[in-house]
């Protein structure tokens, strides 16, 4: 398995990150992509990627902090993108839930990171919270299909999923697809083509059932995979192989 989105760089793992990584490996997590989204978390993501052969980094700027994004930080992201362990740009996107950066600031930061991903030829990792229409519109208008990428922890409907697939994006599911009341993610998960499906934890957030509300960790990505296999009526082994191949293809991993 490959956890395509994990925050081992979060403060929640400060005391026991080595143990968390060991448990993930024991659970069958082959590789992990640690996502950096501000100065502190990017530095930690790069450190982890340098320390572990099987950990990779994604570097981007989160929409909630878009007000702090400037040309200097954009240039820094471009510099980091040349590192062999950096496999994506993001997470970037839009977040209309937290009122910490204006929509205009978020749109500008998002567009600049799409342009960067196309320039450095890396896929995007997209954060979308309460902003489905604008996220999709900007991806289409900025020709993000040229870079492709992941709709991280997808929460849209079937129609939006199809639109994202049409512009060269993979659909990734995390813990919420295991929640008992998650009718929409379960419905959408059944419709994604085999070759465009990915799994993630977004740990330490969004722990899957039966750990909902507790600290998530990458070992739990197995529970996401089990739920998807059940929903799609395929074997766990088949889906494990498929999602691993998908992640390797997207991130150009050998």
* Residue range 105-131, pLDDT digits in tens: 999 999 999 999 999 999 999 999 999
Q: Domain boundaries in the chain?
A: 2-251
Q: How far is CA 210 from CA 38, 90, 135, 179, 216, in A?
A: 31, 29, 31, 9, 11
127 is in an annotated binding site: yes
Residue 99 clears pLDDT 90, i.e. is over it: no
43 is in an annotated binding site: no
Residues 149-170 have pLDDT tens digits of 999 999 999 999 999 999 999 9
Residues 225-238 have pLDDT tens digits of 999 999 999 999 99
Torsion of CA 68, 48, 78, 107, to 10 degrees: -40
Residue 254 clears pLDDT 90, i.e. is over it: no
Residue 81's pLDDT is: 98
| Prior bond of 62 cis (ω within 30°) | no
31 is in an annotated binding site: no
Architecture of the domain delimited by 2-251: Alpha-Beta Barrel (3.20)
* 158-166 helix and 132-141 helix, angle to the nearest 10 degrees: 10
91 is in an annotated binding site: yes
83 is in an annotated binding site: no
Return the closest-CA partner of residue 106 out of 79, 145, 98: 98
**pTM beyond 0.85, yes or no:** yes
Residue 173 pairs in a beta bridge with 199
Return the closest-CA partner of residue 192 out of 223, 220, 150, 221: 150
5 is in an annotated binding site: yes
Residue 167's pLDDT is: 98
Residue 94 pairs in a beta bridge with 128
Residues 171-211 have pLDDT tens digits of 999 999 999 999 999 999 999 999 999 999 999 999 999 99
Max Cα separation, the chain? 48
- CA distance linking residue 197 with residue 35, whole number of Å: 19
Residues 41-64 have pLDDT tens digits of 999 999 999 999 999 999 999 999
Sheet holding 169-173, edge to edge: 2-6, 31-36, 55-59, 86-95, 124-129, 149-151, 169-173, 197-199
DSSP string, 117-143: HHHHT--EEEEEES-HHHHHHHHHHTT
């Amino acid at each position: 398995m490959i956890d395509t989105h994990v925050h081992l760089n979060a403060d929640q793992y400060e005391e026991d990150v080595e143990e968390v990584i060991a448990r993930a490996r024991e659970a069958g997590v082959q590789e992990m992509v640690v996502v950096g989204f501000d100065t502190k978390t990017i530095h930690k993501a790069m450190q982890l990627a340098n320390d572990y052969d099987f950990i990779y980094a994604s570097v981007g700027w989160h929409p909630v902090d878009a007000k702090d994004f400037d040309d200097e930080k954009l240039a820094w992201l471009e510099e980091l993108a040349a590192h062999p362990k950096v496999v994506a740009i993001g997470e970037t996107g839009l977040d209309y839930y937290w009122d910490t950066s204006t929509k205009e600031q978020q749109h500008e930061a998002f567009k600049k990171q799409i342009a960067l991903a196309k320039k450095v030829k890396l896929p995007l990792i997209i954060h979308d919270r309460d902003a489905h229409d604008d996220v999709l519109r900007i991806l289409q208008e900025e020709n993000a299909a040229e870079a492709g990428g992941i709709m991280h922890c997808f929460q849209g409907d079937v129609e939006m999923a199809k639109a994202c697939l049409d512009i060269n994006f993979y659909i990734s599911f995390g813990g919420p697809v295991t929640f008992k009341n998650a009718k929409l993610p379960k419905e959408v998960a059944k419709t994604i083509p085999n070759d465009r499906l990915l799994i993630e934890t977004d740990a330490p957030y969004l722990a899957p059932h039966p750990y909902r509300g507790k600290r998530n960790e990458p070992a739990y990505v197995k529970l996401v995979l089990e739920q998807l296999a059940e929903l799609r009526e395929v074997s766990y082994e088949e889906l494990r192989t498929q999602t691993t191949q998908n992640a390797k293809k997207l991130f150009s991993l050998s």
